[in-house]
Amino acid sequence: MPDIYKPGEYDLVGFAVGVVEKSRVITGKEIVPGDIIIGVASSGLHSNGFTLVRKLAELKGVKYNQYIEGLGKTLGEELLTPTRLYAKMTEELTTRYDIKGMANITGGGWVENIPRMFATDDLKIHAITENAPVPEIFKLIQSWGNVDDLEMYSTFNMGIGFTLCVGSDNADAVINAINNMGEKAYKIGQVETRAKGELNIVIV
């Protein structure tokens, strides 16, 4: 982030390390064709793609204190929306349901992150974007930069901050459970067999 860190400056950050019982580790080895990918709504950008957003805002002459009609707030307020965390949700879900895979949607968007839950290379995801509402901030970014759909889904979370893979017989129950926790969940894809040479995710 050369536009943020100036010569002689540094950033001090923190992190947390988690511990899990070996018997509860989710490896993705149980994922099979026909399983469902569930997406859980994000709260916004989740701190990914900010360099691009800052550049586009600069090119468009949009100020951070400028009210944006579609957002219902200023651009700065939108960008400062805290990242949604899913630890408590996943802890509860994994004790109640057979969760086969999970992936946090960070930099790299759907394209790079969702397939990370696979333990083998013979599976792919057929992702259906229309099943998940796209927040206005992403529509603005796409419009400001004239960015195509694939590039958007390869860069941003596009409204989905976390994904889970479950058997088709469990999908509705897991979605209901997530919604009852105050989150918003959607069926955003299905696992299919991947032929040699095919991409591990197809976004339509």
41-82 pLDDT, tens per residue? 999 999 888 888 999 999 999 999 999 999 999 999 999 999
* This prediction's pTM: 0.92
What distance lies between CA 19 and its chain's CA centroid?
Answer: 23
The DSSP letter of residue 30 is T
What is the rounded average pLDDT for all residues in the chain?
94
Residue 108 Cα distances to 97, 105, 111, 120, angstroms = 28, 8, 6, 20
The pLDDT of residue 134 is 97
Q: What percent of the chain has pLDDT over 90?
A: 85
The pLDDT of residue 9 is 87
Q: What is the spatial distance between Cα 184 and Cα 22, in angstroms, rounded to a whole number?
A: 29
Counting every residue written for the chain, the total comes to 204
Whether 87 shows a pLDDT value over 90: the answer reads: yes
Whether 114 shows a pLDDT value over 90: the answer reads: yes
- The residues spanned by each domain of the chain are 30-49+84-203
Each residue's pLDDT tens digit, 117-149: 999 999 999 999 999 999 999 999 999 999 999
Q: What percent of the chain has pLDDT over 70?
A: 99
pLDDT band at 7 (very low <50, low <70, confident <90, very high): confident
Pick the CATH number of 30-49+84-203 from 2.60.40.1120, 3.90.650.10, 2.70.98.10, 3.40.50.300: 3.90.650.10
